[in-house]
Amino acid sequence: MLCGFLTLALAGCAAPRDAGSPATPQTRTTTAAPTGIPGIGDRFQRRIPADARQVVAVYGDGVDAPDSTVVLYTKRGAGWDRTRSWPAHNGKKGWTADHHEGDKRSPVGVFTLTDAGGVLKDPGSKLPYTRSAAFTAPRWWAKSHWHDFDYVIAIDYNRVKGTPPNDPTRPEGDRKGGGIWLHMDHGSGTSACVSLSRPAMEYLLRTLDPDRHPVVVMGDRAALAS
């Protein structure tokens, strides 16, 4: 697992000795290897695109747990800086590497973040933002859910990039599910999305930058570390 600082020692070559001349001392040069994102193992680290400069890491408390922590990391040189973190929720039944429609589990993986939207006006999003009343949660849902989609950021799982988050197209078919978003929190687990507080969503909308190619790395902690 790439975690913390790894160092690679490179031994320099000693200069050849001439007869009667003193030996030239051997020198050693140490360079630091790129720092990985904490808690993310090689399997998922390798899936992060080389041009990604922003990573939203979603650390699920457990494979069957609805609670998680979201951390925003920003690439600085060879390493990743922890920028902000927030408590969050994921699927009511936890996580899965084989998400299907209606399983109440969030998909484990690495996905790009390209589009945003919501009921409320654009708060200053750097991602393309679509404001529409079509995001309004049904009023037959519990009142605590009515503001879930005031702000959303589409997770590019089984969707067409460059379209509004609520575009219904499912390239891999309806059975694989879709409409997986970062959205506003209602205090408990979701159908499959990741939910955060309004301040957290506003911060992400204003910070995630298409020029930095943001991605989300998400899953339960054991899966992410594998």
Q: State the pTM of this model.
A: 0.84
Higher-pLDDT residue of 149, 28: 149
What does the pLDDT read at residue 211? 98
Between 1-10, 51-60, 139-148, 156-165, the lowest mean confidence (pLDDT) is in 1-10
User: How far is 197 from 185, CA to CA, in rounded Å?
Assistant: 5
Is a pLDDT exceeding 50 seen at residue 26? Answer: no
- The one-letter amino acid code at 216 reads V
Mean pLDDT of the 87-102 span: 98
Mean pLDDT of the 16-44 span: 55
What does the pLDDT read at residue 3? 36
User: CA 142, 204, 4 angle in degrees (round to 5)?
Assistant: 115
Sequence-ordered list of residues with C-beta below 8 angstroms from that of 73, at least 6 positions apart, any chain: 37, 54, 55, 56, 57, 80, 81, 82, 83
| 166-221 residue pLDDT tens | 999 999 999 999 999 999 999 999 999 999 999 999 999 999 999 999 999 999 99
What does the pLDDT read at residue 86? 98
Is a pLDDT exceeding 60 seen at residue 12? Answer: no
- The one-letter amino acid code at 18 reads D
User: How far is 150 from 117, CA to CA, in rounded Å?
Assistant: 8
184: helix, strand or coil: strand
Instruction: Give 135's DSSP letter.
Output: G
Burial of 198 (0-12, 13-18, 19+ CB in 10 A): middle
CA dihedral 123, 183, 176, 142 (to 10 degrees): -130
Is a pLDDT exceeding 80 seen at residue 14? Answer: no
| 62-81 residue pLDDT tens | 999 999 999 999 999 889 99
CA atoms within 13 A on the CB side of 27: 3
Question: Which band of pLDDT confidence, cut at 50, 70 and 90, is reported for residue 31?
Answer: very low
Is a pLDDT exceeding 60 seen at residue 19? Answer: no
Is a pLDDT exceeding 50 seen at residue 5? Answer: no
